[in-house]
Amino acid sequence: MRAYVKSRVKEMGLAGAGRVRINTAGCLDRCEEGPCLVVYPEGVWYTYVDEADLDEIIDSHLLEGRVVERLRLPDKPFGG
């Protein structure tokens, strides 16, 4: 999924210095919540199931600045 998002962001012209960077992170301490990603500098955490969810995050959050509430995770990890 990371490769998919990285490719899509690059194709859309969103990647580059001072723009969107997609990178691999170590443990994010949220395994019990399923796959996740975080958008900085806002610090918005998301979960996703498939490429359609990732497309929605890219289109809504990265392009339009709108948080995708249906995919948003709480700021604090489950049980934290």
> What does the domain layout of the chain look like in residue ranges?
24-80
Provide the pLDDT for residue 27.
84
Provide the pLDDT for residue 32.
87
Provide the pLDDT for residue 29.
87
The CATH T-level fold of domain 24-80 is Glutaredoxin (3.40.30)
Residue 45's closest CA among 23, 78, 74?
74
Provide the pLDDT for residue 78.
65
String of b and e for 42-55 (b: at least 16 CB within 10 Å)?
A: eebbbbbeeeebbe
Q: What are the pLDDT digits (tens) for 22-80? A: 999 888 888 888 899 999 999 999 999 999 999 999 999 999 999 999 999 998 766 65
Token pair, residue 69, equals 């509430």
How many CA atoms lie within 13 Å of 50's alpha carbon, on the beta-carbon side? 1
Q: What is the pTM of this model?
A: 0.90
